[in-house]
Amino acid sequence: MNHSHKKTKRISQIFPLIVVCLGMTSCSLLQDEQAIPYDVVFLGGRVIDPETGFDQLANVGISGNKIVSISKQSLAGSESINASGLVISPGFIDLHSHALSKLGQQFQAMDGVTTALELEAGVYPIDALSQIMGGQSVINYGASTSHLAIRQLVIEGIVKPHFTTPSTPLVLDSNPNSKSEGSVPKNAAFTQQASRQQIRSIAAHLQQGISEGGLGIGVLLDYIRGAVNASELDMVFEEAAAVKVPVFVHIVRGLPGDTEGLEQVIALSKIHKTSVHICHLNSSAMGGIEQFLELISKARAEGIDITSEAYPYNAGSTGISAAVFSRDWQSIFGISYQDVEWAATGERFTKSMWQDYRQRFPEGKIIHHYGKEQWTRVALKAPGIMIASDAMPLLSNDDRVHPRGVGTFSKTLGRYTSSSDSSTGMPLVTALAKMTVLPAKRMQSFAPAFMRKGRLREGFDADITVFDPDEISDMATYQQPLAPSKGIQHVMVNGEFVLKHGVLLEDTLPGQIIKGVSEKSL
């Protein structure tokens, strides 16, 4: 072969590469794509994307705050993590958490949670969220607009942004609508019906909260059932429908098997064409779980946008002064004093102790054991029902709280999944969908950030949970509620580790606030 022919051949080989490179922002003819180092690479894990059903052994490359590559080919990173034998999943999204503190978020991170939202009770004003968190955000967070906090502002004239935290001094813009009508008793927001003028003022504040980025409207209806009349409740559903955000509601609880509270919310949703999310379905339905699920399924078939959630525990937790305990709570829950536990010590109540503690410790927390395992299992496995913790506030390592804020997601994966017997548990990918992509889809139409969360695919946010499917389990109990879950090996939030090789990185704070975008502001 002569020299001229060799030269022509080399040009013909290189020319296609030149053409490809001309269409790219940058190109190197000599460097293999797979040799480009990522910031972090997870090697050889079982990669699961619950939305697409992708479930294969693969490598995952992270650069910045994004998932850049998922490949069976070798990937090189500045840091490589051996994920052999581990599941690589989207980070868990908790739609129901009252644990708005650095400590609360740390325990949730150790349970695999990368985003926790306060949607049932909510916050108002929304800008108070960053003040409540004190700039200490381990994981992503956000909140709905709190109907109760607005009621407290309008009826009592007090600013209490979040119902589970002490009053926080905040400065609001001067607004005559926010002033209460004369002298009112303490806690009137829980007992006093609003006047027409006050309802208009509540509506204006709801609009303000949504415009500030509130993720829907949170309504603690069971706590204030006697105070909220039909006009006010209609207004709440109308306001939510107008800006196309959901109402996240703690429905009115009746006697066991009573579906009236759920039927009330479904009827309002149907009338006003409002999206609605039912909080902690299992604790509201109790023994009526089958009827509740049937009503929700029927409503969906009729075109109502209704969703719900459950947690894997057979006891609830609330304040001893909760409104339900001023009613015939023993009939409502089907329990007696001995079934109620004083959270601070684990003591079980007697009648005299109950009456004494309600008077002396009105801010105290109780755990009431009223659930049955079969009810919980039915709720968790039901199609479309998401997993959410209802995590209680946590400000100190000495706090004795319900263990669900520490172990919900690990307990679900460790005790309610099964690879073979569908009668005893869910397939792993189904359980993961309930805590990743289903919550993301619930939120993404009005909070666009969730379009990039809850999935494990190239181009999506690097919120990632890596766990050992054989070891994962909750460790928190009612007696030892702050025992961290086991089996969670790595948790990454926005591309940064907050848990690494099972160890919490206490000074890492990559979490970001997530806000909504209402229909009117688009």
Q: What is the pLDDT of residues 462-481, one digit of tens each?
A: 999 999 999 999 999 998 99
What pLDDT is attached to residue 187? 86
User: Is the CB of residue 178 less than 8 Å from the CB of residue 172?
Assistant: yes
Half-sphere exposure of 232 (CA within 13 A, CB side): 24
Q: Which residues lie closer than 8 Å to 387 by C-beta, 6 or more apart? A: 92, 309, 310, 311, 312, 380, 408, 409, 412, 431, 434, 435
What pLDDT is attached to residue 421? 54
User: Is the CB of residue 498 less than 8 Å from the CB of residue 491?
Assistant: yes
> Which residue carries 């992503």 as its tokens?
140
What pLDDT is attached to residue 216? 98
Q: Residues 200-207: what's their mean pLDDT?
A: 98
Whether pLDDT at 6 is above 90 = no
Whether pLDDT at 154 is above 60 = yes
- Alpha carbons 209 and 146: distance in angstroms, whole number: 8
Report which DSSP code applies to 156.
Answer: I
pTM over 0.75: yes
How many Cβ atoms sit within 10 Å of the Cβ of residue 516? 27
What pLDDT is attached to residue 169? 40
Helix, strand or coil, per DSSP, at residue 217: strand
Whether pLDDT at 75 is above 80 = yes
Q: Residues 189-197: what's their mean pLDDT?
A: 96
Task: Locate 125 and state its tokens.
Answer: 């004003």
Whether pLDDT at 222 is above 80 = yes
pLDDT band with cut points at 50, 70 and 90 for residue 290: very high
- Higher-pLDDT residue of 395, 438: 438
What pLDDT is attached to residue 386? 98
Task: Locate 286 and state its tokens.
Answer: 């109790």
Residue-averaged pLDDT of the chain: 89
Whether pLDDT at 388 is above 70 = yes
What pLDDT is attached to residue 183? 56
* Proportion of the chain in helix, strand, coil states, percent, rounded to 5: 35, 20, 45
What pLDDT is attached to residue 18? 36
How many Cβ atoms sit within 10 Å of the Cβ of residue 74? 11
- Alpha carbons 237 and 124: distance in angstroms, whole number: 18
User: Is the CB of residue 478 less than 8 Å from the CB of residue 346?
Assistant: yes
pLDDT band with cut points at 50, 70 and 90 for residue 96: very high
Whether pLDDT at 289 is above 70 = yes
Report which DSSP code applies to 277.
Answer: E
**Which has the closest alpha carbon to 328: 228, 265, 258, 392?**
258
What pLDDT is attached to residue 254? 85
- Higher-pLDDT residue of 33, 254: 254
Q: Residues 250-268: what's their mean pLDDT?
A: 93
Q: Name which of 67-71, 168-172, 386-390 the model is least confident about.
A: 168-172
Q: Residues 45-59: what's their mean pLDDT?
A: 98
Residue 123 forms beta bridges with which residues?
145
Whether pLDDT at 14 is above 60 = no
Strands 340-342 and 365-368: antiparallel
pLDDT band with cut points at 50, 70 and 90 for residue 180: very low
Task: Locate 63 and state its tokens.
Answer: 């650069």
Whether pLDDT at 126 is above 90 = yes
Whether pLDDT at 299 is above 90 = yes
**Which has the closest alpha carbon to 142: 166, 114, 169, 107?**
114
pLDDT band with cut points at 50, 70 and 90 for residue 399: confident
Q: Measured between alpha carbons, how far is residue 188 from residues 180, 303, 307, 328, 364 in Å?
A: 11, 37, 31, 22, 20
Q: Where are the alpha helices (DSSP H) in 244-278?
A: 260-272
Longest dimension (CA), the chain: 107
Angle between helix 428-435 and helix 404-415 axes, rounded to 10 deg: 150
Q: Which amino acid is at 108?
A: Q
- Higher-pLDDT residue of 399, 389: 389
User: Is the CB of residue 315 less than 8 Å from the CB of residue 478?
Assistant: yes
- Alpha carbons 47 and 43: distance in angstroms, whole number: 10
What pLDDT is attached to residue 424? 62
Q: Residues 478-504: what's their mean pLDDT?
A: 97
Q: Which helix (H) or strand (E) holds 295?
A: helix 289-301
Whether pLDDT at 512 is above 70 = yes
Provide the strand spans (E) within 223-275: 247-249
Residues in the chain: 522
- Alpha carbons 277 and 271: distance in angstroms, whole number: 16
Half-sphere exposure of 467 (CA within 13 A, CB side): 29
pLDDT band with cut points at 50, 70 and 90 for residue 422: low
Q: Residues 191-207: what's their mean pLDDT?
A: 97
Report which DSSP code applies to 152.
Answer: I
Q: Which amino acid is at 251?
A: I
What pLDDT is attached to residue 32? 46
